[in-house]
A and B are shown apart, each in its own frame.
Chain A
């Protein structure tokens, strides 16, 4: 039987939530199209994540374990996914859209001579291929796309779907990674993590993001304190990562990370369309801005108008009270 294969990306010892979002939606698509649903895990200890795949509806789990996957490198990941696609005979390979998959999607499609729909907000599997919807033109409009190739790759923006549980008794197939390290022409020298990054920004249930209105270290510390009260992560708009106040890895938006937390605080962020593109899938959005006409209020569930320093000071105090 033909199948949908989902690549479950892992990070820091767990399967990324965005991977499970893709798997949960792929389960529905597989059921309605009469396809089997398989997953592939590529990690230095891939077997650790088999149970997670089983919990979310996978009928077959391919694992590819190798120490090369301890850190992201494009060449081995491409080889692993190429191997998994061939092994599984999939007609659709779906994966979460993240920096690691953006790095390999085009090359993988070229090697497999497949169709490819990148960074979709929605996808459906039809008899003849895959239809998708993706934001384009600085995320101002949605583009409807289709590929009817024999094999279609699709990457899905985080927060596009909910995570469902569907316990299965999946068959596990451990593939021997077939890769010649002589092909590894690129060398990873170093990974510079952003300072104080406790919670993975793209996966955090709560994100507190600062923008141009946050003028100094004092404002930044209040953002960090509010984030830590919610066990959340700190984000930023491009203006303050460029100025150096916030590390580059915290940038949210079209050219940064796409986040979709349960709760998003936009603090001193005016709401340029490029920023909105990275956070508009958030469930509850709180905007704090002194300009009552800032575009961010059009997206906010709750808008607070005023001096962010005063508001944050009180908010931190009240949240502490409510939590104690």
Chain B
């Protein structure tokens, strides 16, 4: 079976962020493999180790994305496709989905795996948009995957609103992965050495019959800028013995918060 995993390079969201003139800046400038993408890579590796098959990773972005592609190859993916853009700026989710759909139109796969959202934008749109373009059955927010090789079916456990929904999808299909699914492996030294020899197929947008400036002008959403979160009114921290604090809280509940 062939897993094709869409991975994203994101800024390190754990590093400090500043807003200058409405734009985000980070002193570290560190770019990493998105944690949800990493979970999708990990789960694909686990399933192909069990059932046999290949894992390919696909990423869209400028030259610097190569570094992140190498990380996924070092984890164990066998090959990669880099759809290289000229611009350093990001597209919106719909545009990434269009680009990926143009690639998958002529590509072979059994399962397309993606992260359920990405750590930087938390939009969670690209996966189901891609499934819609390719007319694939799909499930999002997967916390567990099992593959039945004989029936060619993928069983997805997804976290729904009122419990876990267990859904059976025929392949080919698409699944978006939660980071609650697994702990992505840290590449070994051997994995890193091997990754340097693995094939990375670099494609331009025009190879896929797309035009970068047309894609940009057709974008339906724009980011106007960034702002600090509204501040919450400072609260009260009690001190003293537990009993004293509890009585103070009960008093506040009755007289201030109106919850008792």
- Which A residues contact B (CB, under 8 angstroms)? 11-12, 71-72, 74-75, 78, 98-100, 102-111, 114-119, 131, 133-149, 185-194, 197, 200, 202, 206, 230, 238, 241-242, 248-249, 251, 254-255, 262-263, 280, 284-286, 292, 297-307, 310-311, 314-315, 318-319, 322-323
A142-B227 CB under 8 A given contacts A106-B93, A302-B235, A304-B246: yes
Cβ–Cβ contact A135 & B229, under 8 A: yes
**Residue interface mask B141-173, A partner, CB < 8 A = 1:** 101000000000001011111111111111001
Residue of B131, B247, B259 with highest tally of chain A CB at under 10 A: B259
Residues of A within 8 A of B125 (CB): 105-106, 109, 116, 118
Cβ–Cβ contact B159 & A107, under 8 A: no
Residues of A within 8 A of B107 (CB): none
CA separation between A154 and B250, bound complex, in Å? 40
Q: Which residue of B lies closest to A189 (CB)?
A: B166
- Asked if B31 CB lies within 8 Å of chain A CBs, one says no
Cβ–Cβ contact A189 & B126, under 8 A: no
**A117 CB, nearest partner CB in chain B, Å:** 7
Q: Which of B194-208 contact A (CB under 8 A)?
A: none
Residues of B within 8 A of A106 (CB): 93, 97, 124-129, 132
- Asked if B37 CB lies within 8 Å of chain A CBs, one says no
**A308 CB, nearest partner CB in chain B, Å:** 9
Which 7 interchain pairs have the tightest Cβ spacing?
A106-B125, A106-B128, A303-B237, A115-B220, A193-B163, A110-B132, A185-B137
Cβ–Cβ contact B229 & A186, under 8 A: no
Task: Report whether over half of chain A's contact residues are helix, strand or loop; otherwise say mixed.
Answer: mixed
CA separation between A255 and B127, bound complex, in Å? 16
A136-B167 CB under 8 A given contacts A98-B161, A202-B161: no
**B105 CB, nearest partner CB in chain A, Å:** 14
Residues of A within 8 A of B224 (CB): 131, 144-146
Residues of B within 8 A of A185 (CB): 137, 169-170, 173
Cβ–Cβ contact B260 & A110, under 8 A: no
Q: Which of B178-228 contact A (CB under 8 A)?
A: 178-180, 220-228
User: Among B11, B17, B259, which residue has its beta carbon within 8 angstroms of that of A263?
Assistant: B259
- Asked if B59 CB lies within 8 Å of chain A CBs, one says no
**B24 CB, nearest partner CB in chain A, Å:** 7
Cβ–Cβ contact B236 & A302, under 8 A: yes
Residues of B within 8 A of A107 (CB): 128-129, 131-132, 138
User: Among A109, A191, A251, A318, which residue has its beta carbon within 8 angstroms of that of B129?
Assistant: A109
